[in-house]
Amino acid sequence: MHLRACVEQFLAHSEAKWSPRTKLAYAQDLHLLVDFLESVGIRTPEEVTLRELRAFLASQMSHGQAKSSVARRLSCIRTFFDYLQQEEQIPQNAARLLSSPKRDKTIPRHYYQEEMDQLLSRISGNDFASLRDRALLEFIYATGVRVSECVSLDIGDVSLEEGYALVRGKGGKERYVLLGRQAQDALERYLLARRKRASTEALFINQKGGRLTDRSVRRLLERRIAEVPGLRSLHVHGLRHTFATHLLDGGADLRSVQELLGHASLSSTQIYTHTTKDRLAKVYQKAHPRSERKS
């Protein structure tokens, strides 16, 4: 069977257990691989060897792809060839012999407490857009949900009275997230305005009453950040980083943060074990015997 046909068969086989975004990512990665393999004269899965797979990953690195992106593509390729092996289209999975590139350790971009307060307090109007935007950003900051999880929520997934929401994360896994008092208050005000516009069960809606999209939330955040003088730009996923960082800075344990974020592995949560400069300075001043400044 031709490689392209194998890819389509694999995507169709896995569709039920993936989100649309995951399927799109896998399709893009595998089509890139097939394009490369065809360029070197390989068109069937049994022709693929370790050498070609290694050459593909090297070409990705040479074209400036981040190590994290290359590692994700390798994971996708491994899964694809696992499927082909299970279907007895290849005798063994050569991709399992490849090591993932070591990722550079970076501190996730996030807002400090004062910056987050500036962003949220700036949204103070009583019009629909202001009520929705304040509720949306308070919700993301209070819960640490991914933007895709946020926009997929329906009204019935949230209990304001009990202060929680039921979120469906990666792989369809469900988890409960908690709402703080300010997020609850903002949602209560927004939901009153929402009733007049909603044409869907979606929790967060646009001006026409339809469900907000990932892209709409990104544009919304960019616009709100631009309204705060001097506030640095931050991607919407940075609000998730901010949530995790502030919990850990406040004394939350890593396991609890892992559960709230919906991470399958504790190693994914450990990137947040950095400390802010302010917290580090306070710890130093309190603990070091020569930290006091001369008056």
Q: Angle at the Cα of 189 (from 200 to 252), degrees rounded to 5? A: 95
Q: Per the structure block, which two tokens stand in for 55? A: 């050459």
Count of other CB atoms within 10 angstroms of residue 199: 10
Classify domain 113-276 by CATH number: 1.10.443.10
Q: What is the pLDDT of residue 277?
A: 54
As beta bridge partners, residue 166 has 176
Q: Indicate the SS3 state at residue 202.
A: strand
* pLDDT tens by residue, 181-219: 999 999 999 999 999 999 899 999 999 999 999 999 999
Which letter does DSSP use for residue 291 in this model?
-
Q: What is the pLDDT of residue 158?
A: 95
Q: Per the structure block, which two tokens stand in for 50? A: 């370790």
- Regions of the chain where pLDDT drops below 50: 294-295
Q: Per the structure block, which two tokens stand in for 111? A: 């807002």
Q: Are 248 and 254 in contact (CB under 8 A)?
A: yes
CATH 1.10.150.130 in the chain: give the residue spans: 3-97
Count of other CB atoms within 10 angstroms of residue 268: 12
Fold (CATH) for 3-97: DNA polymerase; domain 1 (1.10.150)
Rounded to whole angstroms, how far apart are CA atoms 211 and 16?
A: 22
pTM here is 0.63
Catalytic residues, which ones? Answer: 146, 170, 237, 240, 263, 272
Q: What is the pLDDT of residue 65?
A: 83
Angle, to 10 degrees, between the axis of helix 20-39 and the axis of helix 3-14?
170
Rounded to whole angstroms, how far apart are CA atoms 292 and 202?
A: 54
Q: Angle at the Cα of 246 (from 245 to 250), degrees rounded to 5? A: 120
Q: Which amino acid is at 277?
A: K
Rounded to 5 degrees, φ, ψ at 165 are -135, 145
DSSP string, 134-180: HHHHHHHHHH---HHHHHT-BGGGEETTTTEEEEE-GGG-EEEEE--
Q: What is the pLDDT of residue 270?
A: 67
Q: What is the pLDDT of residue 262?
A: 80
As beta bridge partners, residue 216 has none
Q: What is the pLDDT of residue 234?
A: 93
CATH 1.10.443.10 in the chain: give the residue spans: 113-276
Q: Per the structure block, which two tokens stand in for 199? A: 């044409």
Q: What is the pLDDT of residue 295?
A: 46
